[in-house]
Amino acid sequence: MIAKEITKVHNFGPGPGILPAEVLQQAAEACINFDNLNLSVLEISHRSKNFEKVMEESKALVKELLGLKEGYQVLFLGGGASMQFAMVPCNLLRTDGKAGYVNTGVWAGKALKESKIVGNTVVVASSEDKKFSYIPKGYAIPTDLDYLHITSNNTIYGTQIKQFPKTSVPLVCDMSSDIFSRKVNGNDFALIYAGAQKNMGPAGATMVAVREDLLGKTGRKNLSMLDYQVHIKGESMYNTPPVFPIYVSMLTLRWLKKNGGIEWIEKINEQKAAAMYHEIDRNSMFTGTTVVEDRSNMNVTFIMHKPELEPEFDKLWKEAGISGLRGHRDVGGYRASLYNALPLESVNALTEVMQAFEKKFA
Ligand SMILES: *Cc1c(COP(=O)(O)O)cnc(C)c1O
C-alpha cells in the first residue's frame, strides 16, 4: 500500500533536500509499477524504450528551463557534483592553458583542488579572508583563461552570486544548490553542472549542460568515464546511468514546469527568503552570518547571540515539526535551506518558533 497523503515535517535539510510530495507519490508508485509495465522503475533496462523517453524528456526539460539555445549538450552522470570538480579541468583545461577559480567556500575550494592536479590553475578572487561571508566583486579576470569557475550558491556559507561576472572567458558554474531556483540565462555559461540532490531530485545523478564546441581541445588523452565527448556520444548511457535519480529528477522538473516554471518558483523563493531574513533582522536573539547584499535565497545561515540557549531553541523547533535546521560545522548556528519544494508555510512555521523563542528568553 502506498500512502496517498504523505504527512511531512517541515524539511529545511541542506541536502539531500526536500522534494514535492506529489513527486514522492509518483516515484513510490513507479517503484511498484512503472509506465503500466508491471515492472518497477528499479528493475527496467536503461536501454528500454520507456527509459529512453525518460532520458529524452529530462534533457528537454533542462534545456527549456535553462533557456539553452543550439550547441549545448545535456548529460546526466554519476559521481555527484564532486566528480565534476575533476571532469571540468580534464575536459576544458589545455596542457598549455590556464584555469581560473573564484574561491567562495568549501565546494569551490574542492573544485579548485582538482584543477590544480590537472594543470595550471589560478585563484582569480577569494573571500577566504572573511570566512567566506561575502561574494568577491570587481576582480580582474585574465583574458587568457581556458575558463573561469564560479559557484552560484554557497550552500554551507549562505552566500549567492546575484550578478554573474561579465567576461569573454568561458564561464563554468557549479549550480548544485540553486539550479532552477531563479531566472538565469543558461547561454551565458560554457558549462553548468549540478548534483541533483539539492534542488532537482535524489542523490546519484548530476546534470551537466555543456557547449559542445569547447570540447576535445585539451591536447591530452582523457579516461573514458571522465570524457564528456564519450558521454555525449553514448547519450548519457555509455555506462548504466543512475536510472531512478534521473526519473525522479524528471518528475520534479515536470512539477516545476506544470506550476509555472522558473518565474513561478523564483517569486516564491524570494518570498521565503524575505520572510526568513526579515525575522532574523527583527529578532533580538539571532543574527545573520553573511553580508546582506550577498545573502542566499536558498541557504539562510544565522547564529544565536547567546549560544548557550541553543538547546532551548532546538527543543522548540523540533516540537514544531521542523527538521534539518542545524548549521554546517564550519559555520555553526543554524541553516534554513529553502529549496524549491519547501512551501512558504514551512518558513512561517519557523519564523513563528523564532518569535516564540524571543518572547520566552529575550
Ligand atoms: C552539495 C554540493 C556539492 C557536492 O555534491 P556531491 O553530489 O556530494 O558531490 C558541490 N557543490 C555544491 C555547491 C554543493 O552544494
Give the pLDDT confidence of 13-69 residue by residue, as tens digits. 999 999 999 999 999 999 999 999 999 999 999 999 999 999 999 999 999 999 999
> Is residue 354 packed enough to be buried (19+ CB in 10 Å), middle (13-18) or exposed (0-12)?
buried
- Residues 190, 321: one domain? no
Q: Nearest Cα to 15, choosing from 195, 157, 153? A: 195
Q: Nearest Cα to 58, choosing from 250, 210, 309? A: 250
Enclosing domain of residue 290: 261-361
**Ligand 1 atom showing the smallest separation from residue 15 Cα:** 1
Question: In whole angstroms, what is the distance from residue 347 CA to residue 332 CA?
Answer: 20
Give pLDDT, residue 5: 53
Position 62, amino acid: V
pLDDT bin (cut points 50, 70, 90) of residue 230 is: very high
> Is residue 12 in a domain?
no
pLDDT bin (cut points 50, 70, 90) of residue 8 is: confident
> Is residue 228 in a domain?
yes
> Is residue 1 in a domain?
no
- Residues 36, 174: one domain? yes
Quick one: DSSP state of residue 147? E
Classified as helix, coil or strand, 362 is coil
Which of 87, 113, 155 gets mutated to test ligand 1 (max ligand atoms within 8 A of its CB)? 155
What amino acid positions are annotated as catalytic residues? 107, 174, 198
Distance (angstroms) between ligand 1 centre and the Cα of 359 equals 37
Q: Which of 223, 258, 293 represents a domain boundary (last residue)?
A: 258
User: Span 282-298, mean pLDDT?
Assistant: 98
Q: Nearest Cα to 191, choosing from 88, 287, 110, 66? A: 88
| Closest residue CA from atom 12 of ligand 1 | 176
Give pLDDT, residue 1: 41
| Closest residue CA from atom 5 of ligand 1 | 81
Query: What share of the chain in percent tops pLDDT 90?
Result: 97
84-139 per-position pLDDT tens digit: 999 999 999 999 999 999 999 999 999 999 999 999 999 999 999 999 999 999 99
Number of domains present in the structure of the chain: 2
Q: Which region holds residue 105: left if phi is over 0, alpha if psi is between -120 and 50, else beta? A: left
Question: In whole angstroms, what is the distance from residue 91 CA to residue 225 CA?
Answer: 11
Q: Nearest Cα to 208, choosing from 233, 236, 185, 171? A: 236
Instruction: State the DSSP string of 271-306.
Output: HHHHHHHHHHHH-TTEEESS-GGGB-SSEEEEEESS
- Residues 87, 190: one domain? yes
Report the run of H or E that residue 357 belongs to, with start and end. helix 344-361
> Is residue 140 packed enough to be buried (19+ CB in 10 Å), middle (13-18) or exposed (0-12)?
exposed
Report the run of H or E that residue 10 belongs to, with start and end. strand 10-11
Cell matching residue 178: 540553486
> Is residue 185 in a domain?
yes
Q: What are 153's strand-pairing partners?
A: 160
10 Å Cβ neighbour count for 279? 22
201-218 per-position pLDDT tens digit: 999 999 999 999 999 999
b/e per residue, 233-264, with b = 16+ CB within 10 A? eeebbbeebbbbbbbbbbbbbbbbeeeebbee
> Is residue 16 in a domain?
no
Q: Is the pLDDT of residue 7 over 90?
A: no
What is the helix, strand, coil percentage profile of the chain, to 5?
Answer: 40, 15, 40
Question: In whole angstroms, what is the distance from residue 203 CA to residue 201 CA?
Answer: 7
> Is residue 19 in a domain?
no
Write the CATH number for 285.
3.90.1150.10
Pocket residues for ligand 1 (CB within 6 Å)? 15, 80-82, 107, 151, 155, 174, 176-177, 195, 198
- Residues 307, 192: one domain? no
| Closest residue CA from atom 14 of ligand 1 | 176
Quick one: DSSP state of residue 309? G
Q: Which of 258, 278, 306 represents a domain boundary (last residue)?
A: 258
Classified as helix, coil or strand, 165 is coil
User: Span 141-170, mean pLDDT?
Assistant: 98
Q: Nearest Cα to 298, choosing from 103, 14, 71? A: 14
